[in-house]
Structure 1
Amino acid sequence: MIEKEFLKVIQSDQKMMSILRVIAGLDLKDSWLAAGAIRNYIWNLHCGRPGFDSETDLDVVFYDPDISYQHTLSIQDILKAACPAYSWEIKNQVYMHGHNPETDPYVSTRDAIRKYPETATAVALRLVDNKLELFAPYGLEVISRFEIHPTPHFKASSKRMRVYQERMAKKDWRQKWPQIQIFNDQPRRREDV
């Protein structure tokens, strides 16, 4: 799937456009609909299912050092109350680097997305001035092929690779998408970095 095709599909999907308008209306700095919300949408399309999956969390990510962790939770609560049909997860990427071992603080939402555990999850979409913007640093093809690979950031650390492997063991993606292939690419040696 190429970017233009994907964006046309999204533009014609009223639910997804409505969700993206809600997110844009939050006026959060550097905000995106990301991760599983986009990845699962692509997987569903390739299985001949409707792209939007109401079982999938809507991962809203943003980057704003002026918004506290507690304030982020209150925004999430307000959004859940206003749009209870969806499972909203709002994360300020300022605070999220602590979930990944040996990871420096992120400098933007794009920086955080590039450093997600898997390449298939490192994808985001947003509406800016009524235009769709896609960020897929590892491309859409790997997602379309149902391949799960660790990102370069995770491959660069044995501790992060353990997190990746534990995450893959916990996920039950193959129940819904049996064609998924999980790869445990070897971490790069220190001298390769």
Structure 2
Amino acid sequence: MNKTYLIDTISKIPEMVELLHILNDVELPNHYLAGGAVTQAVWNRKVGNAPLYLVKDFDVVYFDRQQDKTEKEYEMEIESRTTHSLPVDVKNQAKVHEWYGAKFGNEIEPLKDSEDGIRMWLPCFAVGVHLVENTIEVFAPFGLEDQANMVVRPNKTAMSKENYDAMNRSFKKRWPDLAIQAW
């Protein structure tokens, strides 16, 4: 049920469908549209908001050890093809370990693929979608229950309590109906 609801939600948002096609066209290796925009689209539908209400950008992850193009080059190429104005935040999961410690205070090992990166996220946001032969495929290592029920729970794999608490203060301001689980 939750997977069908998610796919139905995404398929009704032209900006997201367009982006999924563009990601395939630019041949981003091991890519997903993931995280905030995907989860917020579901939450917006649940509470009756506009589909992209409070979505500030689209998170795109991919994995490329060789780094044939930089994240910025991919962002520019993708944004040049879109017909909407929401920015795209592109992150190469092969490089996350190089900056993660400075940003979040925890050092992490190099990731093996994009799925490894998504597994480090909060369960409600650990959801990625991409197109396979024009069908939306979902990667959700923790399932979709937290996303569907607007529950935020910690993922202690790579996050500190301080970062979790700070994120939750921000989430609660934007989403007062969230059920936030303690660390």
TM-score (norm 2): 0.85
Q: Distance in 1 between matches of 2:144 and 2:55?
A: 22
What's the counterpart of residue 85 of structure 1? 85
1:127-166 alignment, distance < 5 Å: 127-154=131-158, 160-166=160-166
Instruction: Please tell me whether the aligned partners of residues 16 and 52 of structure 1 are also in contact (alpha carbons under 8 angstroms).
Output: no
Cα displacement (A) at 1:33: 0.2
Q: In 1, Cα distance between the equivalents of 2:55 and 2:144?
A: 22
> Secondary structure of the residue that 1:59 maps to in structure 2?
strand
User: Are positions 1:99 and 2:100 aligned together?
Assistant: yes
Structure 2 distance, partners of 1:9, 1:181, is: 21
Alpha-carbon RMSD across the aligned residues, in angstroms, is: 2.2
- How far residue 131 of structure 1 moved from its aligned partner, in angstroms, is 1.4
- CA drift of 1:90 comes to 0.4
Report the CA distance shift for 1:39/1:65 in structure 2 as closer, same or farther (over 3 A). Answer: same
State the Cα deviation string for residues 118-161 of structure 1 (Å, max 9, x = none): 1111111111221111011112211122111112414xxxx733
Distance 1:88 1:134, change over 3 A: same
Q: Distance in 2 between matches of 1:168 and 1:176?
A: 10
Task: Tell me if the contact between 1:72 and 1:91 (Cα under 8 Å) persists in the aligned partners.
Answer: yes
What residue in structure 1 maps to residue 28 of structure 2? 28
**Partner residue in 1 for 2:72:** 73
**1:44-59 superposed matches below 5 A:** 44-53=44-53, 55-59=55-59
Distance 1:183 1:48 in 2: 24
Structure 1: gaps of 5 or more residues: 186-193
Contact 1:31 1:60 in 2 (8 A): yes
Per the alignment, residue 179 of structure 2 pairs with 181
Which of these two proteins has the greater Rg computed from alpha carbons?
Answer: 1
Counterpart-to-counterpart distance in 2, 1:93 and 1:46: 30
Structure 1 120/44 Cα, relative in aligned 2: closer, same or farther at 3 Å?
same
The alpha-carbon deviation at position 54 of structure 1 amounts to 7.2
- Does the CA-based 8 Å contact 1:102-1:160 persist in structure 2? no
Please give the alpha-carbon distance, in whole angstroms, between the structure 1 residues aligned to 2:92 and 2:153: 25
Q: Give the secondary structure class of the aligned counterpart of 2:70.
A: helix
Query: Structure 1, residues 41-79: CA drift from partner, whole Å, max 9, x if none?
Result: 1110110223334743100100010116x7221221232
Q: Does 1:111 align with 2:111?
A: no
**When the two structures are aligned, how many residues end up with a matched partner?**
177
Quote the offset at 1:163 in angstroms.
2.6
- Partner secondary structure for residue 80 of structure 1: helix
Among the aligned pairs, what percent are the same residue?
Answer: 24
1:39, distance to aligned residue in structure 2 (A): 0.9
Unaligned runs of 5+ in 2: none
